[in-house]
Chain A
Amino acid sequence: MKFLIPLAFLAMALPALADRMPLPANTPASFKAECGSCHLAYPPALLAAKDWKSTMAGLSDHFGSDAAVDAKSGQEIAAFLERNAGNAAKLGNAGSPPRITLSARFVRKHDEVPAKFWRDPRIKSAANCEACHRDATKGGFSERDIIIPELRH
C-alpha cells in the first residue's frame, strides 16, 4: 500500500513534463474522431481555455475548412478542451484565430528549428506535429523521438 502513494504522486507529476502530453484517459471519442481527422488531435494543454472557446465557436470556417460538428459533440468537445486547457500566462498570445504554432511557448520550444524545415514539402506546416514528432499521437514530444536526424542534437 505504501508504495502506491509515491507512485500516485509520480503519475500526477508526469503530465507536467513538457515532452509528455498524452490525451487524458477520459478524452471523449468525439474529440479524436472530429478533431483528429485532418490533423493531429492536438493536446488540449497547448492552448488556453479562451482560445479553445473561440476555435470551437468558429468551426464552420476553420482555416478554410468546414470542421463543423453536431451540437452534442460540439458541447462535449468544448467542455473537454476548456477543462484540460493550458495556462494562458505560460502559453502567451496565440493570435486570432488561435494557433498553437503561434503561441509564444511553441515558438520558444522551436526556436532551434531552422526556417527551411518549416517549408520542407515533407512537413508542409508547423501544425503537422507528426512530421517531426514520431510519437505525437501518443503525446510524445521528446527530443529522442524526433524523426529528422538533423533536428536531434
Chain B
Amino acid sequence: MKTIATLSLLLISMAAQAETPQQIRQIYVTEAAIQQAGFTAAAKRGEAFYHQRFGINDKMPVCTSCHTDDPLKSGQHAVTGKAIKPLAVAANGERFSDPAKVEKWFGRNCKEVIGRACTPAEKADFVAYMSEVR
C-alpha cells in the first residue's frame, strides 16, 4: 500500500514537472517502437510532414496555414486571426515542455487539419523537427 502511495506521488510530481523536448520526443519514440521495432525519430520526416498539404480543411489545409512556412516565426490562426507564438524550440523555449499540453494540441490539430489522429511516429518526427530547426 505504502509503495503504491509513494509511486503515485512520484508519478504526479513527474507529470507536474516541466519536461524537455527530448523527454517528450522519447515518450512518442517509445510508443512508436511498439508498432515498429527499432523506430528512431527523424527531423527531416517531421519537416516534410509539417509542409504536407492534407487539404481536408480548406481554411487550414496544412500545418503552415497557421504556423507559417518557417516555424521560427510567429504565426496567425487562419480563422480567428489570433497571433500564435513560434513552434520551434529555438525561437520559443516554452514549446514542448508539458506532455499533456503537447498531446492536447496534437489531438485537436491533427483532427482538424488531417482529419484523423496522428501516429506516435508522426508525433516523434514532428517534435524532433521542432526541437532541431534553427
Contacts and interface: CB of A to CB of B under 8 A. Distances in A.
B112 A66 contact: yes
A128 B81 contact: yes
Interface of B: 57, 59, 76-83, 107-108, 111-112
A124 B80 CA distance: 7
8 contacts: A38-B77, A39-B77, A64-B57, A65-B112, A123-B81, A127-B80, A128-B82, A130-B82
A122 B80 CA distance: 11
A131 interface: yes
Interface footprint category on A = 10 to 19
Contacts, number: 37
Interface string A32-66: 00000011100000000000000000000001111
Nearest to B100: A70
B80 A66 contact: no
Contacts of A128: 80-82
Interface of A: 38-40, 63-67, 122-125, 127-128, 130-131
A63 B77 CA distance: 13
A103 to B, nearest CB: 17
A64 B78 CA distance: 12
